[in-house]
Structures are given as C-alpha cells and as structure tokens.
Amino acid sequence: MAIQGGCQCGAIRYEITGDLMGSGVCHCRQCQYSTGGGPNSVALAPKSGFVVTKGQPKHYARKGGSGGEVNQVFCGDCGSPLWSEGVFPFYPVKAGSLDDPSLLEPAIHLWTSEAQPWHRIEPGRPAFPENPPAP
C-alpha cells in the first residue's frame, strides 16, 4: 500500500511505497523549533521506498544530536515541514505531512530530556532521554 503526503499548499508531494520502519516522537529542542513548539511525530520511511512526486523542496542544514548533519526538508512556498535527511537509512517523515496521519501511532519517545513539561509522553511506551542505544 502506498502512502502519500505533501505540504499544505500542494506544491510538494511525495509517496512512500516501502513498509514503514517504525514511528516515534522526538522531543529535542531542534524538533520543537521545526514544529513550532510541540514534539515531532514521525514515520520512518525507507529511503529506497520514498520518492518526491511533485515540486522541489527546500533544505535547511543543522547539526543533529549525534553530531552529524541533518537536513530539515520543507516547502519553500507555505513553509510546511515535510521530512528530515541525515546519515540514517530512513527518512523521518513528519506525521502531519501525511495525507492520512491516523495511519500512525507513535511507538517510541526520543530526547525526553529536552521535552517541555506539557509534552505528553504516553506511559508504557519506550522512552529515552536522548537517542536509543544502538543495537
């Protein structure tokens, strides 16, 4: 099943054809900036199953929690945050950019050490103060 998404104005569209690798919520301060205050809910889309089908998104490079460069990808027209690109084997796709965000239920919480007191962290879900330990 293909999953589609894009920005608010429709200038950028994408499609995910591979199975999602997971989902989660990041509470780091950088994600708070990119969302406008709240935590960042994402679907982990395999790079091999992700394609931009319309438009040319803009990129903003920043340093990630691992020290590596992360590109925040967004629409240059309406400013909608769309996904991130980095050294990981997937794209963290912003849940709000999916045509049907109800497909996701976050499985994990990351960077809870930087969460605002009003960020909801569901009890019983794995939660890590930073990135989870490497397998």
10-65 confidence digits (pLDDT tens): 999 999 998 999 999 999 888 898 888 889 999 999 999 999 999 999 999 987 76
Q: Which H or E run contains 35?
A: helix 29-35
> Taking a C-beta distance cutoff of 8 angstroms, is the pair 112, 132 a contact?
no
For residues 80-103, one letter each, b for 16 or more C-beta atoms within 10 angstroms of the residue's C-beta and e for the rest, the string is bbbbbbbeeebbbbbbbbbeeeee
Domain residue spans of the chain:
3-114
pTM of the shown model: 0.88
| pLDDT tens per residue, range 84-118 | 998 788 999 999 999 999 988 889 999 999 999 99
Looking at the structure, give the CATH architecture of the domain made up of residues 3-114: Beta Complex (2.170)
Which is more confidently placed, 67 or 41?
Answer: 41
Q: Which residue has the tokens 């099943």?
A: 1
Q: What is the dihedral of CA 69, 75, 78, 83, to 10 degrees?
A: -60
Q: Residue 63's pLDDT is what? A: 78
